[in-house]
A and B are shown apart, each in its own frame.
Chain A
């Protein structure tokens, strides 16, 4: 099954803003929207947003998601050391009848 495309790594400074991207196609991101997950080493994924910019309770407003066409984005403002993690996007693919994930972006906070 084909996946979504994410940059392997992004590095930003403390208190800066990072924007992570996730590119799919009209069968997944462009049609169904995307969700974003944060995963720290050795821990299960944590939902940051779903269906583009719906944020679960307890998730900081520093995390915001958006979509333009077939590309979804996650913007993290005021970067903190604890934001250093792997970030995955996901979407339901109506053509494949499956969930597809991006390869993940490792965010480093300098």
Chain B
């Protein structure tokens, strides 16, 4: 079963707009990670947030984590066409070290 579930499944926006993706998970975690995947390629690590952190920034990316609600969000500000990709959250979720991925959000940024 999937540990993380992303919402929405697909998101289409115009260049320059902000994109927000949400992730919910089921069990306690040590950390939560976000990855990006361009079509047919491998995943690229974006950001890791530990369970004792509430917010983290990296360039145009902002990740929040609410462990009481078992949820996280990824915000991409001022999106570009090059941000078009699938975005996945992943958690260890007390799986003994396995990193379990959600189903992903497909983001389309139109120029």
A associates with B: no
Give A contacts to B, CB under 8 Å. none
